[in-house]
Structures are given as C-alpha cells and as structure tokens.
Amino acid sequence: MSISYEKLTEAKLKPFVALRITQLREEGATEELDLAPALRDYYHRHLADGSFVSWLAVEDGRIIGTSGMSIVEKPPWFGCPSGRIGLLSSMYTDPNYRRRGIAKALLGRVVEEARGQGCGVVQITASDMGVLLYADFGFEKNGNFMQYRL
C-alpha cells in the first residue's frame, strides 16, 4: 500500500464531489436534493481563482482521503490583521483507511496552504469524530460560533 498526496485538479473533481456528498450524508444530511451540480460549479470556479484548495490522499489512483479549504477575507481584527481566513471543509477519510494518520497529513498540507496565502486563522466546524484530530493538531475551541439560517 502506497499512499500519495496530491492537489485537487479538475481531472479528479467528479470523485471528489462524490466523496463530499458521502461525507455530508455520513454527518447526518438527509435532504433529498441533488447537490452534485452545485458542488461541481463551486469547486470549478474557486479552484480556478485560487480561493479553494484541496489536498487528496490517493492509493492506486483512487481518492481515499480529502481535505478542502476556502480562502475568505473579512475585515481585519486584532486576532487576524490580514483578515484572510482559511475555512476548512471536505475533511474526509474512507472508513477503511481511518486511524492511519491520513487526515493529519492532509490537514497539515491545507494549513500550510493557508499560511502561504497569508491567512491569519484557519477555522472549521468539526464533526464529533473530527474534534480530537483538530485539538491534537493545535486548534482551539471558539464557543462564540453561531449561525442564522436564511
């Protein structure tokens, strides 16, 4: 078994989108909606302009782990003078490959991408399963996160 790590390109977008949908279902999404076209459109546009980056774990040509990060800009604040934030998403590892350090390796790569793009902060809304990974990596909980659905 030889796992390689590579950046997401258009060529791997279809299986990447399929894994993102698998991840969302695994996290409890039950809506009956074909999300694939909207996801393909989002990733296509944001890969092209550099505001989305993803590293993949690949074995024998098959994606077994994904990461994703959107680069967003907000008004600067004291905790992030650049105003640039990396918003993590799409952190997923095939269940048959979990607990082998793949997610940590992917996380390290996207955090370096954030650093390279001048982000001052990387954030994620972690699933229950992911909390330990992020805490071990050095992420700190921010109890102020709230959401309003439109």
pLDDT, tens digit, 9 for 90 and up, residues 75-101: 999 989 999 999 999 999 999 999 999
Residue 10 lies in a domain: yes
Residue 24 lies in a domain: yes
Helices (H), the chain: 13-26, 36-49, 102-116, 131-137
Asked if the model's pLDDT at residue 142 lies above 80, the reply is: no
Residue 146 lies in a domain: no
CATH value at residue 59:
3.40.630.30
Residue 114 lies in a domain: yes
Residue 147 lies in a domain: no
Residue 142 lies in a domain: no
CA dihedral 145, 113, 59, 44 (to 10 degrees): 80
Residue 150 lies in a domain: no
Residue 143 lies in a domain: no
Q: Can you tell me whether residue 99 is helix, strand or coil?
A: coil
Domain that holds residue 32: 3-137
The rounded distance, in Å, linking the Cα atoms of 123 and 66 is 17
pLDDT value, residue 147 = 62
Q: How many domains does the chain have?
A: 1
Give the range among 32-36, 51-55, 114-118, 139-143 with minimum mean pLDDT.
Answer: 139-143
pLDDT confidence of 1, banded at 50, 70, 90?
Answer: low
